[in-house]
Amino acid sequence: MVLARVIGSAESDFTALEADKNVEELVYLTVNRALENTGLSIEEIDTVVQAGDDVLDGININHVYTVEPAGSFLKEESKIEEDGAFALFYALMRIMTGKFRTAMVVGFSKSSESRAELMGKKPYTDPEISGQWYYFTQFDPFLMRPLGHDVATYHAMQYQAFLEWSGLTEEDVAEVTAKTKSAGVANPNAPHAKKVSKEDVLNSGYIANPLKKLEVPLNTDGVSVLIIANEEYAESKNYAGSRIIGAGSASDAYYPGYRDFYRAPTAKLAAEKAYAMAGKKPEDVNLAEVYSLFSYQEPLLYYELFGWEPDVLKAKIKEGATAENGDLPVNVSGGALCAHPIFATGLSRVIHADRQLQEGKGKIALAHAQSGMGLQSNIVYLLEG
């Protein structure tokens, strides 16, 4: 089953601080770049779905300001308060109604405007941690905030729980971190990529034990745009983009004590839905782009998405199975560790999965994104080249 065809994409220049352009300018420029890459005019886009956040931007109904820059004025348009990968799910549903031939998804964030040092306030952890003030607002004010949680301490607890459950060590996670952080060097749009070793990661200092500085995402501004179309339209225009053949999503309970906090069972459920829809199995996947907000989540997702049990996990990490030249390359783009434009990060995973398929690096790609705290909500796509 083909849900839709990817016919074009573009990303802004991801930066640590885009001071000379506001959000509207970033959206406008990136949407135009996507249209140019696709060879379409804005009139040929039937519906637009945007992904952004009022809290992050400090503006009520923030996408009202990007309706015109996104080219959706007087069009059928909408917006979700989730990552752009979830907006893609919404766009797919619209394509599948048969009422729309084409859809454009726009994910945007300018988290530099809410950086701690720019707000003149003392940071909870480190001023460079991406979106820390935004993430803090996700904690309920009656239980979580009074406990003193912030984005680092919360995920450090999940990190520790995962280590205890899986039997992996901080050295194993550092190996994955070094692999992903270094892979991003080949990606020209990964501002935080850096060639590092396992030892560099282990010696980078704790943000919140066992979470280390090189294992966290850093502030990134940016916009991701993806254009999809139904098969009939794509074939009529001779587009050769990858086909989205499977999709699945699932969400868990909010409080960490109400769920298997050391795992991400909804990631597994989302993947199972996508595999079933596409008629594929984990072993059919040739490459993957997964949204690991902190680096320990990447091996955790290996377990949930590919079914690698803890002993297999450890062996796969040791043999470099997920490196670019491994059996199943994961996050060759550098992932969120190298570029984290919050509401564009998951959509960027889909874009990079599609690009790698177009480069002939495989036939089946898995793209994953998350939302909420500690892998609470997950979404998975399977793409066929």
Residues 184-199 pLDDT 10s = 999 999 999 999 999 9
- At 116 the pLDDT is 47
Say if residue 27's pLDDT is above 80. Answer: yes
Residue 215: both structure tokens together: 């294992």
Q: Do domains 4-113+221-242 and 126-218+245-384 have the same CATH topology?
A: yes
CA dist 269 and 246 (Å) reads 13
Band the pLDDT of 219: cuts 50, 70, 90: confident
113 compared with 127, residue with greater pLDDT: 113
Task: Please say if the pLDDT value at position 311 is more than 50.
Answer: yes
Q: What is the pLDDT of residue 200?
A: 98
- For the cut 50, the answer to whether the pLDDT of residue 254 exceeds it is yes
* Residue 370 · residue 267 · CB < 8 Å: yes
What CATH number does domain 4-113+221-242 carry, 3.40.50.2000, 3.40.30.10, 3.40.50.300, 3.40.47.10? 3.40.47.10
Alpha helices in the chain (DSSP H): 23-38, 54-57, 84-96, 116-119, 132-136, 151-166, 170-183, 198-202, 231-236, 265-278, 297-306, 310-319, 335-338, 345-358
- Cα dihedral across residues 142, 371, 258, 301: positive or negative: negative
- Calculate the average pLDDT of the chain: 92
141-145: which pairs have CB atoms within 8 A and are 24 or more residues apart?
A: 143/255
3-state secondary structure of 9: strand
> What pLDDT, on the 0 to 100 scale, is given for residue 77?
95
3-state helix, strand, coil in the chain (%, to 5): 40, 20, 40
Average pLDDT over residues 236-250: 95
Angle ∠(222,71,95) on CA atoms, nearest 5: 95
Confidence at residue 10, expressed as pLDDT on a 0 to 100 scale: 98
- Judged by average pLDDT, the poorest of 37-51, 65-79, 141-155 is 141-155
Domain boundaries, the chain: 4-113+221-242, 126-218+245-384
Q: Which of 72-86, 129-143, 152-166 has the lowest mean pLDDT?
A: 129-143
Band of residue 283 on the pLDDT scale cut at 50, 70, 90? very high
Confidence of residue 282 (pLDDT cuts 50, 70, 90): very high
pLDDT at 17: 67
Tell me what pLDDT residue 383 has. Answer: 98
| pLDDT at residue 144, as a whole number | 86
Over residues 291-309, mean pLDDT: 97
Q: What is the pLDDT of residue 113?
A: 75
- The pLDDT score that the predictor gives to residue 124 is 38
Q: Which residues pair with 371 in a beta bridge?
A: 377
At residue 106's C-alpha, the angle toward residues 237 and 155, to 5°, is: 130
pLDDT, residue 172, reads 98
Question: Could you read off the pLDDT of 65-124 as tens digits, one per residue?
Answer: 999 999 999 899 999 999 999 999 999 999 999 999 999 999 999 887 765 444 444 433
Average pLDDT over residues 259-274: 96
Answer yes or no: CATH 3.40.47.10 is held by domain 126-218+245-384.
yes
φ and ψ at 207, to 5 degrees? Answer: -85, -50
How far apart CA 6 and CA 382 sit, in angstroms, is: 12
Nearest to 252 by CA among 75, 375, 68: 375
Provide the pLDDT for residue 45.
98
Q: Rounded CA gap, 141 and 181, in Å?
A: 34
The pTM score is: 0.95
Instruction: Say which amino acid occupies 309.
Output: E
For 115-150, letters b (16+ CB in 10 Å) and e give bbeeeeeebbbebbbbbbbbbbebbeeeebeeeebb
Residue 297 three-state SS: helix
Of the candidate ranges 15-19, 54-58, 204-208, 358-362, the one whose mean pLDDT is the lowest: 15-19
- Respond yes or no on whether the N-terminal peptide bond of residue 210 is cis (omega within 30° of 0): yes
How many beta carbons lie within 10 A of that of residue 36, not counting itself? 11
Report which residue type is found at 240.
A
Is 73 buried (19+), middle (13-18) or exposed (0-12) by CB count in 10 A? exposed
- Long-range contacts made by residues 36-39, C-beta under 8 angstroms, separation at least 24? 36/10, 37/8, 37/9, 37/10, 38/7, 38/8, 38/227, 38/239, 39/8, 39/237
List the single range of 129-138, 176-185, 371-380 with lowest mean pLDDT. Answer: 129-138
pLDDT of residue 114: 66
The phi, psi pair for 197, rounded to 5°, reads -105, 170
- For helices 297-306 and 151-166, angle between their N-to-C axes, nearest 10 degrees: 50
Instruction: Report which secondary-structure segment, H or E, holds 371.
Output: strand 364-371
